[in-house]
Structure 1
Amino acid sequence: MPRRDQAAFAEFVADRSASLHRTAYLLVGDRGLAQDLLQEALTKTYVAWPRLRDPGKAEAYTRKALTTTAITWYRRRSWGERPVDSVPDSVADRPADGLADDVATRDLLWQALQGLPPRQRAAIVLRYYEDLTEAQTADVMGCAVGTVKSQVSAGLRTLRTRLGDRVTDSDLVPLDLLEVTR
């Protein structure tokens, strides 16, 4: 790759790594695995970089590589090894004051999100946390817009069933507190 392209790629990585790592973390729930998936996605982007002159296309390409790599990882993983955290049985298990309440809500949502099938989780992360349109999400996931709608609908239905009224749809809006800190 020419030196000029290497510099552009390095700038892209410096500018977008934090956001892409956050997406990877939301997809898999593990910092180390998120870093591995991001590295794999960036490697794929590096190989394709000469064809990706537009930075917007590079980000979309990397996000798609990240999502498909995460889904592939879950498919290969044994279901017997998949960790599932239990959700508290009652609202009484939640702290009652301000920020602690927000943190508890976020943790409940986080646990339930990790229990979703990979494609539903990917659709919800891309739509609600990355704020992509249905068409953009479909492009990233490599599926039809209708599939995105059904995956999001099924995922939200599962979250509502698991969480009841402890978490509302507005809790899916990204928060500044939702940084990769785990």
Structure 2
Amino acid sequence: MYRGDYVRWASLYLGSRADAEDAVGEAMVELLGKWPTVLTQEEPAAYAWWLVKNRVKDAARSRSRHQKLADAIFTVTALQEAADPIGELENSLAVWQAIDALPDRQHDVVLMRYSLGLTVPETAAVLGITEATVRSTVRDARRRLRAALDLDTKKGHADDRSEVA
């Protein structure tokens, strides 16, 4: 059901659509082999996400790639039309480093919501968590990111409320 979203996420992580397809394909084969176990899980989608995420991380390690490389490629691509490429690069790298430092669930939710553009219900479904958990995780991640980026915490509170609504 979520293979397309898994591949899009894995492409961000691995920096290659082909590598993402391979890693997610391997995870799907493993998932199929464990299907009776999957069906006994309280949240099968959460189990599937855990399996996919771990297989993608294994693929990154085995291919000697790291997420920061994919992030750098993504950032350079985004800078092509920037008025101040050096300033944009510094800001973008700081943001990506702060996102990379988030706890796993916050990291996953932020990437699903903002890099992949999934809605709250879509993110909840892919990760096998509730919509309320997605909203509260985004709120917590935003607080953590504001602190990590040393942004004025008085600004942006409306952003937190927009995710709750």
TM-score range, shorter chain: 0.5 to 0.7
Q: Which segment is superposed worse, 152-161 or 40-49?
A: 40-49
Query: C-alpha displacement at 1:44, in angstroms?
Result: 3.9
In 2: Cα distance, 1:47 partner to 1:24 partner: 16
Change (3 A) 1:116 1:40: same
Conserved 8 A contact 1:41-1:66: no
Any gaps of 5 or more consecutive residues in structure 1? 1-12, 50-63, 75-84, 86-96, 170-182
Partner amino acid, structure 2, of 1:113: I
Shift of 1:43: 2.8
Give the corresponding residue for 2:143. 157
- Normalising by structure 2, we get a TM-score of 0.52
| Structure 1 pair 68–161 and aligned structure 2 pair: CA distance change class (3 A) | farther
Work out the percentage of aligned pairs sharing the same amino acid.
24
Matched with 1:144 is 130
Distance 1:25 1:117, change over 3 A: farther
The answer to whether the Cα contact below 8 Å between 1:112 and 1:162 also exists between their aligned partners in 2 is yes
Structure 1 position 41 matched with structure 2 position 41: no
Rounded to whole Å, the distance in 2 between the matches of 1:109 and 1:161 is 11
Query: Would you say how many aligned residue pairs link Structure 1 and Structure 2?
Result: 115
- Distance in 1, Cα, partners of 2:116 & 2:123: 9
Distance 2:21 2:49 in 1: 6
Is the aligned partner of 1:69 residue 2:55? no
- Pairwise CA distance, 1:67: 6.2
CA RMSD of aligned residues (A): 4.2
The C-alpha deviation readout for 1:76-95, integer Å capped at 9, x for no partner, is xxxxxxxxx9xxxxxxxxxx
Aligned 8 A contact 2:102 2:141 in 1: yes
1:134 aligns with 2:129: no
Contact 2:27 2:51 in 1 (8 A): no
TM-score between the two structures when normalised by the length of structure 1: 0.48
> Residue 110 of structure 1: which of 82, 93, 96 is its match?
96
Measure, in 1, the Cα distance between the counterparts of 2:111 and 2:54: 13
Deviation at 1:111, TM superposition (A): 0.7
Distance 1:43 1:31 in 2: 17
Corresponding position of 2:39: none
Structure 2 unaligned spans of 5+: 33-46, 58-67, 69-82, 157-165
Distance 1:100 1:135 in 2: 37
Q: Is the partner of 2:150 in helix, strand or coil?
A: helix
Q: What is the alpha-carbon distance in structure 1 between the residues aligned to residue 140 and residue 151 of structure 2?
A: 17
1:71–1:119 Cα contact (<8 Å) kept: no
Displacement after TM superposition at 1:158 (Å): 0.5
What code does the residue aligned with 1:101 have? G
Deviations 1:128-171 (A, max 9, x none): 111111000000000100111111111111000000239x98xx
The equivalent residue for 2:63 is none
